[in-house]
Structure 1
Amino acid sequence: MKANHLCLVSLAALLAFCAPAQADWASCLAGIRQSAAEAGVSRETIQSALGSLEPNDAVSFTDKQPEFTTPIWDYMAGLVDEDRVEEGRALLHKHAHWLHAAESRFGVDAPYIVAVWGVESDFGKGFGKRPVIQSLATLACAAPRRADYFRKELMAALKIVDNGDVAAEEFYGSWAGAFGHTQFMPTTFLSKAVDLDGDGRKNVVSDPADAFGSTANYLAKNGFEHHLPWGFEVKLPQNYAGPSGRTHRQAMSAWASRGITRLDGSPLGGGPRAALLLPAGREGPAFLVTKNFDAIFSYNAAESYALAICVLADRLRGLPGIQTPWPTDDPGLSREERKELQTLLIRNGYQLGEPDGVIGTKTKEAIADVQQRLGLTPDGRAGLKVLKALRGG
């Protein structure tokens, strides 16, 4: 009887705790419905999209974006690996017609379009599994910050469904509401999407051609210049102490006067104004980057992201990748190496499911356990040290 009483007390406490949250959710949705109606969204779309909507887990991801939480050498290793380069080159050939059409119309070189496609959705294999409207409503009503931003994106998402640009059953994407082959946010879709193949629909979800054209249009509108290099890797003089940073753009002659050379030691020569990028500090790779780097940066506002796109574009056109080693004794792993790591963990008794190269919570916990036993820092990071240790074991 006493146990039952405690259960009833606990249940009552839980309900009391949840009630304000439910009330806030209902109140927020009511305001969104009203705003959508005032914005011209049809009653039918509002009801079908928001009528019985419940929040999802989107808020839990707001501080976990890999561009800002992952070491640069891990980030680059996973995004610019041999598998992605090989597949990207094949797709450049397969989709040459529409890539050429996008390049000709908007002045954005095809390798950059394919690189964005590869990084954003693994060439269409990973759009995200969360309903876009549900995620945006959750973020608009419950995110600790940027609620106004997500509310605007939600209004745009409702208009997209109402316009018939994306069918509700296809409207899935990332936790933040990005969707389609090249992961457009809804407001960006409304302002930049194009119907490249002329079929009467701007379809970035099931039509790669429209995704190519829309991505090229976005980059062109953000200052991308046809055939201008994004930048190149350079060599710093010993104990370099000069300026750096993506926004600190200067003439090539100014950088040359500070002792910066091309990677092989030859002079910089002429060229556009550029900024010095040091993504891992002065001990790591250094790059002089042009305004085309800034155009790529605008797509996701992270220097690591822009660098991955640019280096992948170089690799797709047959140029070498980054030559200077990252300043770490534990380099990052490619996707194939991450799958190998998971396979070895499974062989050692860890229950991880099918190896997929995605380092989720279970994989991190298994890695941390192995690291603990090896006397390494148990941070759960998938690096070369733990992979080599498991190979040797």
Structure 2
Amino acid sequence: MRRLVCLLACSVFPLVGGCSSTPEPVTTPKPFKSAFINQPVPEKNVSQPVNRQIVSTGDFNNRPNVDQFVQRMVTKHGFNHARLQQVLAQAERYDWIIRLMDAQAPSSGQPSGPNGAWNRYRAKFITPDNVQNGVNFWREYASELSRAEQVYGVPPEIIVGIIGVETRWGRVMGKTRILDALATLAFDYPRRAEFFAGELESFLVMTRDEGLDPTEPTGSYAGAMGYGQFMPSSFQRYAVDFDGNGHTNLWDPVDAIGSVANYFKAHGWQKGQAVAVRGQGQLPGYEHGFQTRYPIATLRRAGLTPSASVANHQEASLLRLDVGNRYQYWYGLPNFYTITRYNHSTHYAMAVWQLGLAVKAARR
């Protein structure tokens, strides 16, 4: 089975993201030991980050919230108390992770009129070079993408679009140690400590079950992992061993393809159905966004008509894109909403869909 083995590059968050970077040189997988068992784990064909010597920093030693977490892991999952303490003692706390997390808070300011926000967002992803990279990825993994469509009903362009927006097809998967990111946020970020403690729990279970050294995997500053930037809890729920080698590895493009497709199927993707339809007309004053729901007939009476068939759909969300000198309206259909389950953003979902379509068109 083919493998694309990459170093993990820049930070993106979570299950979502997208940032551009020059890809780093590839590395060769190596044997490693799990921190939770006594015997060496056999060498596996998995993509692993470059090893670096880690020493105990003590950032999370003798902390009541850490001790409580360790005890819960022992009781709930059967971890060895001393070994888990040793692992967490190697985690490093970073203030910059907390600052970046705080910067994710939504802005309260709203533009007074169209200013081209969608154009700027779209331009980050849909470029000639990026589309060509998507074509190359699709060609290399055409059989796996076709198999994912057969098994899960999700077309290749959606899987390609997700992986392209998230990590530029593996070029920018993040270089922050997952252990550092999740420990920092679980133990020193009270606003979302409960959520990230759950993600740290899922990560430690994942590394134990997959025989990974928990000090090695890297990803985004919020703990998102691999080609599709899954959070650890999403790994537990949706990741699959799509290449059939007995291990589930999100840093492997084949497992990532199957896992993204499985995620979409689990969140209601409707095989063969449209994603969105461009609307003709303007609807000032109407609430918009992927979470809205309007009868198609109501939108038509208000002055919006679809530019293509909406098939048998009776309802749609009203999507509004800021294209500079005006707003562009779209009918968001159930499959569009499913894309937003990956990242709760109209811009994100539209970029995934349009990037996938651009790559599909360029393959012909």
**Bin of the TM-score, shorter chain as denominator length:** 0.7 to 0.9
TM-superposed CA distance for 1:194, in Å, is 0.6
Select 1:40's aligned residue among 77, 92, 114. Answer: 77
Q: Structure 1 residues 268, 227: closer, same or farther in 2, change over 3 A?
A: closer
| CA deviation vs aligned residue, 1:364-385 (integer Å, no higher than 9, x gap) | xxxxxxxxxxxxxxxxxxxxxx
Q: Structure 1 residues 111, 166: closer, same or farther in 2, change over 3 A?
A: farther
Q: Structure 1 residues 172, 45: closer, same or farther in 2, change over 3 A?
A: farther
Matches within 5 A, 1:217-366: 217-237=262-282, 240-262=284-306, 270-272=311-313, 273-280=315-322, 283-318=326-361
SS in 1 for 2:342: helix
More helix by share: 1
Cross-structure match for 2:100 = 61
| CA deviation vs aligned residue, 1:325-374 (integer Å, no higher than 9, x gap) | xxxxxxxxxxxxxxxxxxxxxxxxxxxxxxxxxxxxxxxxxxxxxxxxxx
- Is the Cα contact below 8 Å between 1:250 and 1:274 reproduced in 2? yes
Using the size of structure 1 for normalisation, the TM-score is 0.68
Q: Name the count of aligned residue pairs.
A: 294
Select 2:63's aligned residue among 26, 36, 47. Answer: 26
Residue 215 in structure 1 maps to residue 260 in structure 2: yes
- Is the Cα contact below 8 Å between 1:252 and 1:268 reproduced in 2? no
TM-superposed CA distance for 1:258, in Å, is 2.2
- Is the Cα contact below 8 Å between 1:244 and 1:276 reproduced in 2? yes
Q: Please say which structure displays the higher CA radius of gyration.
A: 1
State the superposition RMSD in angstroms: 2.8
The one-letter amino acid paired with 2:173 is F
Cross-structure match for 2:167 = 121
Cross-structure match for 1:387 = none
The one-letter amino acid paired with 2:302 is R
The one-letter amino acid paired with 1:121 is T
The one-letter amino acid paired with 1:298 is R
SS in 2 for 1:305: helix
Q: Structure 1 residues 251, 299: closer, same or farther in 2, change over 3 A?
A: same
Matches within 5 A, 1:139-218: 139-164=185-210, 166-168=212-214, 170-205=216-251, 207-218=252-263
Select 2:136's aligned residue among 90, 95, 103. Answer: 90
Q: Structure 1 residues 68, 90: closer, same or farther in 2, change over 3 A?
A: farther
Q: Structure 1 residues 104, 67: closer, same or farther in 2, change over 3 A?
A: farther
Cα distance in 2 between the residues matched to 1:23 and 1:93: 46
Structure 2: where are the runs of 5+ without partners?
1-57, 109-115
Structure 1: where are the runs of 5+ without partners?
1-20, 320-393
Cα distance in 1 between the residues matched to 2:361 and 2:106: 25
Displaced runs of 4 or more, over 6 A: 21-25, 66-70
SS in 1 for 2:322: coil
Cα distance in 2 between the residues matched to 1:45 and 1:223: 40
Q: Which has the higher contact order (CA 8 A, sep 6+)?
A: 2
Give the percent of matched residue pairs that are identical in Structure 1 and Structure 2. Answer: 28
TM-superposed CA distance for 1:166, in Å, is 4.3
